[in-house]
Structure 1
Amino acid sequence: MLVQETINKLKSLTELDIQNHWYFLDEKLLPPPLAIDNNWQKAIANEKKYLVWEKGNKIRWFAQKITIPDHLNNYPLDNLSLRIGLTWWAESAEIYINDKLVCEGDLFDSSSRVLITNNSQPNEEFIISLKLVSPNHDIGGLMSSRCLYESEYNTIDPSFVANELTVLSQYIDNFYPEDKIKLENAIQLINWNNVNNQNSFNQSLIELRNKLLPLSAYIKNRNFYLLGHAHLDMAWLWTMDETYTVAQRTFNSALNLQKDSLSLTFGHTTAYLYQWIENHNKPLFAQIQAKVKNNTWEILGGMWVEAEVNLISGESLIRQVLYGQKYFQEKFAKYNRVAWLPDSFGFPAQLPQILSLGEIDYFVTGKLHWNDTNKFPHGCFWWQSPDGSRIFTAMSPPNVAGVMNTNPVVMSDYSVDWEKQTGLQDIFWLPGVGDHGGGPTRDMLDVVKRYDDSPFFPQVNFAKAENYLDKIKDKSKGNIPIWNEDIYLELHRGCYTTHGDQKYFNRYCEKLLFQAELFSTIINVLNHNYQMCVKQVNEIQFKIDDLWQKVLLNQFHDILPGTSITPVFTEANQLWQEVIEEGELILQDCLKAIAFNIDNTEKELPKGAKRVIIFNSLNWKRSEIVEIDVDGKQYQAKDCQGNILETQISEENKLLVFVNNIYGVGYTQLILTPAQEIDKLKPLKLETEFILQNEFIKAKIDPKTGNLISIYDYNIGKEIINGQGNELQLFQDNGQYWDAWNIDPNYEKYPLNNPKLIEIQWLENGKLRQTIKIVKKYNKSTFTQKYILNCNSPIIYVENSIDWREEYTLLKVNFPLNFTSPKAYYETPCAVMEYPTTPKTALQKAKWEICAHHWVDLSNDKYGVSLLNNCKYGHDFKPNQIRLSLLRSPKWPDPTSDMMIHNFTYAIYPHQDSWQDAKTVHKGYELNVPLQVIVLEENEHNADILPSAQEFLNLGSNNLILTALKQSYDDHNQIIIRCYEAENKPANFLLKNTLNLRVHKKVNILENALNDIDCKSIKPCEIATYVIISESEENV
């Protein structure tokens, strides 16, 4: 008899499929039945053997009577334990035995082995009933149901031996095929003639096992390392309030299991959640602290939450690690060594550098098992950032159903795949129920203990992740592959676009807190240097820390991507608004405090005059048009040197002034004096030609479509656009199970009609700014766009206000170009990556939607075009085309997703040479971090402490981007400055400043000193952090 045939036959003696014996009833208020009467209908399985019913939180009862037979296929069943193995897909599940509730579950706790009796007797009867509620978004299903008869855990039964044979066969087939004959010969010892005698038949199974014992060493050389785990989403199909309840239940469950299972080690992430437990359940928190100290509870992650890491800025990534690690150090006396992101949707290339700078040694994710096209090629590897930083990275076991049980066959299947991929015989496993919490169950622990005692299953030990990773890194020396790009998830590409409001709020708040922190720190230094009368400067950083932590919470991987239910976004938006209101108040207070102390260039201002202070938060000079709210009144503008500046009244009755060379991380001052008359733009008639033009470009808008039909570059004397530019394209985008997460990979096969132009008009046509407004309609949606061309710039801005009311629709904007580029360049957190516009490999082809931050660029040796944006992320490319994803409209899990007015801006930036030469990085930041304008009336002036214009600090290299100026986390008397190299070339950090500060030391992102002798040299793509102190302070 063949091995697989023997395995199947053994299982048939103690396992029985009962899927075809269910009856159903659709009743809401039904007590668990004690009998099945004529009201119940026979349940009919579909082609997959599933019992399904309609979606929409519909209740379905299933019931059947189980009568224990004398035998199964002649094998006696008396004195065995009987369990029912169930798997369902239901919003909630209740399992009853003889009208008593014995088990509950949900979408994620979706399978169970329910004990019916531990001493089966022939003819004993049980009524098994299930109350299942279908998900709101999907049909409900009872996928499988089996009776499982098992012996005591220190004895054997046919199914147990069948599993042992399965595991042994897997290892022999894959690693020791020459021993296959030994296994085949040994199974002949089974005495099938005695199957009707339980003791005699079991004795033949014992003889079989004894015969196979010489093969045991093959398996016992392998080791499973188990860590109890409960991946817990902070919010998803539930709000955070429910998460807090589930977390407490999960943690208490783990602690209770540890009382009986002393070896059980449990691990969990998320500093924010531990902080909540600390504040609301101190006894539970104290127990966790004790378990951490005893090394049976592992604090994982090293981050504030399990964040969405593709969409957030490099500084946000740093703050996730900073606040997470500092909390863990304060409360558990150790930094975390393992970054743990099991469910985030892809990972940017600079993450290894950021984690390494956060004193994290390892990175673990299992999400790559979800890839829809290619199997990720490595199980463990060195992941290398563009600067050369590396982190040892391992894939955790696959868990696509929310439950990772201890089924021995499933575990050995994975172990074989792991060993074939990595060559390692040490395997990691994470028993537990996840997503909605739960953790390991007693049955999981009992099952794995039973198989650990078997000679035909790998050894099993509980271990912390860091200890397991130490072991496999040691064993892998010299054989570890290197991965030196982003880790792209070949799925969930729609997360770059869904719920555009969350993307907008996140980007806005990131930039707002950068500016608020920057100027609050400057105020603190100025207050120290000049004893300026600024109140509560020391408290500002504490407030900013609180605001940062609110932003970090909203960056959780099911909030920022837009993949939660409606109430989650109601709560998230409240947090965003708190950050915006309080952050803007801090920023404005700081700017005003500085402005009040700036020297007046004209000691006596004319009546009605105003002083205008223009602040630049970025670390390079900017020359831009400034908008000043003057209530429609007319003013003459002068700069600090008394030069009269060109002005224009905008269509919104604001004063436009072009200001040249505004200091980086500094300010300049204008004086506005009342003027008799300034030419005010009068809108041109509709039939006029719609051409935007300055000294750099000439852009023509098609009066029939509202699209760009020409951008002529005067510098090179060439046309840039090839066809209709700024074309809004709509595609049908449905049929995906993971609706909010996934763009239909075949969306281009289902184009919809483009929006139709219904209005076009001039709004502004002055010397400083030209603006043309267009309005388009499609179905129920309205698209209002403003084309804006400023003087002294080749950039065409497109301001959008879109009232979006579509369903299952993808909106992109297309720019076909009149040249080709072999590569696309795109900004990611603290780095620039490249992508072939004609992909050749399977991995490249799977990247058909790419996540980029401020900009993307197509360039050849001589020319290029950058597409900038202020809150959009999804892009796709061809050699002569850039497209930006603007909006989607999925219906699950949030049926209201994106049904709102969206305001955002993107811009087309034609340039000569490369993106580096064109300073595209700078242009992207300038769009996202606008100049700040403070208008002072005649009497708003404290003292002439500060000059009329100044640069507070300069980094010394124009390829360094300032990302933070802040007070130190541990010592608010010290200042932290952080920057990164943005153009893939070396730089020198040479701090120049007017704040009486000097560089003290180079530190990591936890603000701990680095042993860096040449601390001023910065490698390409390096993130550098320094402590700077007052010139008067002595070296420490």
Structure 2
Amino acid sequence: MRIGNLVSTRLGPRLFRRVAPLTVTAWEVPGEPVPFAEAVSQSFQPFSAGDRWSRPWGTTWFHVTGQVPEDWGHDGTTVQLLVDIGFSGLLPAFQAEALVYRPDGSIVKGIEPFNHVVDVDPAGGAEIDFYVEAASNPNMLEHFFVTTLASAAGGAPLPSGFASPRRADVLHLGDPATAGTDPIYTLRQVALVERDLAVDALLQDVSVLMGLLGQLDPASPRRAAIRHALERMCDILDPDDIATTVTPARSVLSDVLASPAHPSAHSIVAVGHAHLDSAWLWPTRETVRKAARTFSNVLTLMDADPGFVFAASSAQQFAWVKQFYPELFERIRERVHEGRFVPVGGMWVESDANMPGGEALVRQFLLGQNFFLREFGILSSEAWLPDSFGFTAAFPQIALSAGTDSFLTQKLSWNDTNRMPHHTFLWEGLDGSRIFTHFPPNDTYGSDLGAADLAKAQRQYAERGASNVSLTLFGWSDGGGGPTPEMLGAARRNGDLEGAPRVTLGSPSQFFAEARRTLPEPAVWYGEMYLEAHRGTYTSQARTKLGNRRSEHLLREAELWSATAAVRGLIDYPYGELESIWQTVLLQQFHDILPGSAIAWVHDEAEEHYRQVAVRLEELIGTAQRALAGHGTETVVFNAAPVIADAVTALGATVAGAPGPAVAPERTDSGYVLQNDRVVVRFDTTGLLVSFVDRNTGRDLIAPGEAASVLQIFRDIPAMFEAWDIDRSYQRSVTELRTPDSVEITDRDLLVRHSYGNSSVVQRYRLAGSDAEVQIETTVDWHEQEKLLKLAFPLDLRADQAASEIQFGHVLRPTFVNTTWDHARFETVAHRWVHVSEGGFGAVVANGSTYGHDITRSVRDDGGTTTLVRESLLRAPKYPDPEADQGVHVLRTSLGVAADVLHAASAGYRMNLPARAVDNADHGVEPVVSISAPSVYVEAVKLAEDRSGDLIVRLYEAAGTRVRSLIRPGFAFTTAWSTDLLERPVDEQKWHSPDSIELEFRPFQIVTLRITPERAKS
């Protein structure tokens, strides 16, 4: 207490020897942010400390002028500009921030809550002239503290600096239309300060030693020595004469600070980091400015500390800086070439790793790595997703084939039931690919390098004994900010300090090289890395998820038909337009956008982006298809889904009549029937689907006494993180909609209408003449709060496991609960389909935009087994977007017979890639590529990134079996060869026309072929 009191009341206040006022004028931007040149040309008005500035999400420019006093900057001091625009003492990422410019428009550095001083020319008489662009970003975390943490603490008071707004007020700050116009911040101080460097150093010495004191055994000699030294420091430091006694006071700490670490101490490679979310509790336009603030702070630190290394992911953020802050980007480029500013990840953004389609994950790497190569001349060797919400089993193969050899995350430290058994290991993916993986054992991507964090890393490192090195990411995170001088001071003092791990400033590649060297035979984790938290992100913000799914498939079609037309000389391939669209779609896959965990502003923008993308892609598809089909009197049906004909899978278009109509529903005494030559689907008089009979086997899919396609509504109030989490307790409160408002036959559809609370639902059932699946369109006008809507299918199958589609394949998950790992996996992700089977008989539940599922089984009294497949259709969380999922949604599902996963996959493809009929056409279109093996699917057809005109064909094995296949291009070609995902050759083998291309695929292998059309040689 004596030490703490002395530091906080006597030493800390003497950090600044003197303070001098400055002149401040201001101009408030009336709308969205403006560039520097436009801002400084405005009329600035006098402004003073105590004045309030800017509405929520507003911007105020301050012009700061003055002069350094003549006698400052001597005798162990430096001169700084201190700017306090109204900071609280809370987390820095969630409040006001600013960027400081010189009069010529060059950037000085960012102003953050815990990093709000700027070094200036210390010469007496030097002129002060800065512009400060201040952003009044509201604190969207207040709701979290106000309604969650405070109540969890039994009504404990809020942290210092927090107001107590009404919940609704805080929530509506996430939408500029409802955020209000009153100023929300008060300018506290803008002044020159004379910083005492010796006091600064002593404060950092004491901070490190006090932190270490708290981690040591109370009986240890080391702790006693540190405490004794600190007490001697207090004796020597004279509160009435700090300037004279601070240096002698520091000297008595020198021995305990110089005592080296134990030879067996854990070794930590500390990498500067900021983990800047590309959108979350702020829109992407604010992320652009956050990137400039963070990166300029980093460059300032690099000027002061030549050993400091900083790692930043997300090519999108670098691209923003290049576009909006070109001078800053050039400074970054210089540091990248020095190896100190390290681009990592190789991805366009730190995307979600569960819901993006396979080709989208490929493009995350393709666009990201190409940007890094083009701008910096490097490829990232580290895949980097510290905060994404679980990891698909397809990721190792994708990451390795995209030029990376290592992977970093820490998110699985959030597991609510089981702890991951390793921190450094090989992660084996679906196909057998293994990537060297590390979880920082201090469980954070934003360490302050304090003693508690360092001790936690040493204490928790799972591989200790076999290896003794881990990585720590340090710097303020989530909203950027990054490392501070104090963190670097802690790193230096902890470099070789008795009682603490050794800390070395370094790069990710240095860490991974050392980890590989010291752990030559790491353990292996196989399959997906499921996050036992944030299960609601598979469902929240359904419109965003629909936009993503639709955009991915429209891109597939636009590329396929444009490439087909281009290699035949019919159109010019739209390289630039497609790349721009991909950049938009990939940005929306960021791990707080696609998962549905951002503010309303972010999701409103995402939905508008998806609308624009759809318009642009439909135009590209139409142009290409018209060029391919010609002009005549025929109808040509274009199909972008894998279609098996004559044992060959092809993507093409055929002359055909209009698609056949659905069968008409029949009314019977017991209800309604939809039937064709393959299935008989029966509904009772209330419109419940009570029977689904496969004519081939005579088996009924629906469990005895049950009904399928039943709407279930659950109470959904997670203990924390509303948009993110679904708690298991939801299962204990369910209402089933079994009594409809009406049942009617309309044209060829059966319509069943329900109402619940303030919401209404229309289920539309349709059966095509040749399908083995019934189509279910669920239109929901949703106005519930904190509810979860599921669609349930109790099936008469004893399925020990369910196959769920993921990127480039599927995973098998148990339907039973034997272990705590099974218990925690109560909500899972699937892409277009899930498949459950009993022997050779099975069912598929396919979807058009749904990702969340739960699949369980139970034994009936008759001895049979019911396997229950449920889709999670909608939620209604209130934080961070109080209007999440409100309004009208159209959700598409199908239920059908599927003997195996390939039949299930076919249903999923057909739902998401319906055939397109083009009238007034002349002829069909030969497939641009045909595949002989039914289990090998074409995922993408495009032209090469280098704009050479070469065709790129991406294929994968979908059944999980080894298979040989012939690949036949539908055009004359000169050469073909295999490439990695970056379109670089992977071996020396080449094929030459007219040879067909023969390949052997291992289970779930991704293969990329590059084919040079014959015309490219003319």
> Do both proteins adopt the same fold according to a TM-score greater than 0.5, normalized to the shorter chain?
yes
Pair 819,682 (structure 1): closer, same or farther in 2 beyond 3 Å: closer
Match of 2:964 in 1: 988
Distance in structure 1 (CA, Å) of the matches to 2:744 and 2:204? 84
**AA at the equivalent of 2:876:** S
Match of 2:362, SS state, is: helix
3-state SS in 2 of match to 1:757? coil
The structural deviation recorded for 1:329 is: 0.4
The one-letter amino acid paired with 1:978 is R
Quick check: which has more Rg, 1 or 2?
Answer: 1
What secondary structure is seen at the aligned counterpart in 2 of 1:690?
A: strand
Secondary structure of the structure 1 residue equivalent to 2:388: coil
Change (3 A) 1:16 1:335: same
CA change 1:683–1:716 in 2 (3 A) is closer
Residue 543 of structure 1 pairs with residue 521 of structure 2: no
Code of the aligned partner of 2:376: F
What is the RMSD of the two structures over their aligned residues, measured on CA atoms? 3.9
Q: Which of 1005, 1018, 1023 pairs up with 2:1006?
A: 1023
8 A Cα contact 1:492 1:741, kept in partner: yes
CA deviation digits over 1:185-238, x for unaligned, max 9? Answer: 978988989986669999999999969988x44168543322211111111111
For the residues of structure 2 that align with 1:924 and 1:977, how far apart are their CA atoms? 21
Query: Partners of 1:156 and 1:1033 in 2: how far apart?
Result: 65
Give identity over the alignment, percent.
28
Match in the other structure for 1:964: 940
Pairing 1:877–2:817 present: no
Deviates more, 1:327-336 or 1:457-466: 457-466
**Cα deviation, residue 343, structure 1:** 1.4
Q: Deviations over 1:889-937 (max 9, x none)?
A: 111111111112111211111234x334xx221221111111111011x
Q: Distance in 2 between matches of 1:266 and 1:212?
A: 26
State the AA in 1 paired with 2:542. Answer: G
Alignment match of 2:639 (pick from 605, 616, 619): 616
The residue number in structure 2 matching 1:580 is 614
Distance in 2 (alpha carbons) for counterparts of 1:745 and 1:763:
39
Matched, 1:886 2:870: no
Which stretch of structure 1 is more off in the superposition, 920-929 or 189-198?
189-198
Matched residue, 1:763? 746
Q: Does 1:861 align with 2:855?
A: no
Q: Is 1:153 aligned to residue 159 of structure 2?
A: no
- Which structure 2 residues correspond to residues 645-656 of structure 1 after superposition, within 5 A? none
Q: d(CA) in 1 for partners of 2:601 and 2:735?
A: 31
AA aligned to 1:557 is H
SS in 1 for 2:427: strand
User: Alignment partner of 1:620: what SS?
Assistant: strand
Q: TM-score w.r.t. structure 1 length?
A: 0.75
State the partner residue of 2:455: 412
Q: Deviations over 1:288-332 (max 9, x none)?
A: 110000111000110111111210111000011001101110100
Aligned to 1:752: 735
In structure 2, distance between residues paired with 1:886 and 1:155: 55
C-alpha contact 2:843 2:895 (8 A) present in aligned 1 = yes
Tell me the residue number matched to 1:933: 917
Q: Shift of residue 881 of structure 1? A: 1.0
Deviation (angstroms), 1:15: 6.5
Q: Distance in 2 between matches of 1:405 and 1:218?
A: 22
Match of 1:837 in 2: 815
Partner-residue secondary structure (3-state), 1:253:
helix
Which residues of 2 match residues 526-541 of structure 1 at below 5 A?
526-527=568-569, 534=570, 537-541=571-575
Distance in 1, Cα, partners of 2:233 & 2:611: 75
Deviation at 1:138, TM superposition (A): 3.4
- d(CA) in 1 for partners of 2:791 and 2:230? 72
- Residue 591 of structure 2 corresponds to residue 557 of structure 1: yes
Give the whole-Å Cα distance in 1 for the aligned partners of 2:304 and 2:716: 51
How many residues align structurally? 851
Q: Where does residue 631 of structure 1 map in the other structure? A: none
Counterpart secondary structure, 2:682: strand
Q: CA deviation at 1:729?
A: 0.4
Counterpart of 2:581 in 1: which secondary structure?
helix
- Aligned partner of 1:430 in structure 2 is 473
For residue 309 of structure 2, what is the aligned residue in structure 1? 265
Provide the residue aligned with 1:714 in structure 2. Answer: 695
Contact 1:338 1:364 in 2 (8 A): yes
Q: 1:285 aligns to what?
A: 329
Letter in 2 for 1:88: L
Task: Classify 1:197/1:501 alpha carbon distance in 2 versus 1 (closer, same or farther; 3 Å).
Answer: closer
Unpaired segments ≥5 residues, structure 2:
12-46, 58-83, 98-110, 119-136, 147-156, 162-196, 239-244, 858-866, 991-997
- Judging changes above 3 Å, is the alpha-carbon distance between structure 1 residues 807 and 110 closer, same or farther for their aligned structure 2 residues? farther
**Aligned positions of 1:188-587 closer than 5 A:** 216-218=260-262, 221-396=265-440, 398=442, 403-418=446-461, 423-452=466-495, 454-478=497-521, 480-527=522-569, 534=570, 537-587=571-621
Residue 573 of structure 1: how far off its partner (Å) = 1.9
Query: Does the aligned pair in 1 maintain the 2:316–2:348 contact within 8 Å?
Result: yes
In structure 2, do the counterparts of structure 1 residues 150 and 414 end up closer, same or farther at CA, with 3 Å as the change threshold? farther
**Equivalent position of 2:770 in the other structure:** 792
Q: Decide whether aligned partners of structure 1 residues 687 and 979 sit closer, same or farther in structure 2, where only a CA change above 3 A counts.
A: same
Q: Which amino acid aligns with 1:697?
A: V
Provide closer, same or farther for how the CA distance between residues 93 and 926 of structure 1 changes in structure 2, counting only shifts above 3 A: closer
Deviations 1:409-452 (A, max 9, x none): 32222222226657433232222111111111122222332343
The question of whether the paired residues in 1 share the 8 Å contact of 2:314 and 2:346 is answered with yes
1:544 deviates by 1.4
Deviation string, structure 1 residues 88-112 (Cα, Å, up to 9, x no partner): 36996689xxxxxxxxxxxx97878
Which amino acid counterpart does residue 827 of structure 2 have in structure 1? E
Report the Cα distance in structure 1 between the residues aligned to 2:854 and 2:976, rounded to whole angstroms. 44
Q: How many Å separate the matches in 2 of 1:671 and 1:486?
A: 44
Separation in 2, partners of 1:165, 1:413:
14
State the AA in 1 paired with 2:793. F
* Shift in Å, 1:134: 7.7
Distance 2:852 2:470 in 1: 36
State the Cα deviation string for residues 797-834 of structure 1 (Å, max 9, x = none): 11121111111000011111222111111111112111
Query: Within 2, Cα distance between the matches of 1:614 and 1:831?
Result: 27
SS at match of 1:720: coil
Contact 1:826 1:853 in 2 (8 A): yes
Query: Conserved in 1, the CA contact under 8 Å of 2:230 and 2:253?
Result: no
Match of 1:743 in 2: 726
**Counterpart-to-counterpart distance in 2, 1:568 and 1:155:** 41
Counterparts of 1:318 and 1:429, CA distance in 2: 28
Secondary structure at 1:698's aligned position in 2?
strand
Q: CA deviation at 1:790?
A: 2.1
Distance 1:94 1:589, change over 3 A: closer
Q: Distance in 1 between matches of 2:833 and 2:1016?
A: 41
In structure 1, distance between residues paired with 2:848 and 2:882: 26
Answering whether residue 680 of structure 2 is matched by residue 698 of structure 1, we say yes
Give, in angstroms, the shift of residue 973 of structure 1.
1.9
- Offset of residue 759 of structure 1: 1.2
Structure 2: distance between partners of 1:305 and 1:155: 38
Question: Which residue identity lines up with residue 808 of structure 1 in the other structure?
Answer: E
Q: CA deviation at 1:161?
A: 4.3
Alpha-carbon distance in structure 2 between the residues aligned to 1:841 and 1:909: 31
Correspondence 1:852 to 2:830? yes
SS of the counterpart of 2:532? coil
Q: Secondary structure at the match of 1:250?
A: helix
Spell out, residue by residue over 1:471-496, the C-alpha distance to the aligned partner (whole angstroms, 9 max, x if none).
11121102x11111111111111111
Change (3 A) 1:979 1:757: same
> What is the SS of the residue equivalent to 1:567?
helix
* Distance change (3 Å), C-alpha of 1:688 and 1:1019: same
**Residue in 2 that maps onto 1:899:** 886
What letter is aligned with 1:341? L
Amino acid at match of 2:307: S
Contact preservation (8 Å) 2:567, 2:949: no
Q: Which sections of structure 1, spanning at least 5 residues, go unmatched?
A: 1-7, 19-29, 35-55, 58-83, 96-107, 116-130, 171-179, 528-533, 601-609, 623-659, 765-769
Q: Which residue of structure 1 lines up, in the alignment, with residue 627 of structure 2?
A: 593
In structure 1, distance between residues paired with 2:652 and 2:484: 59
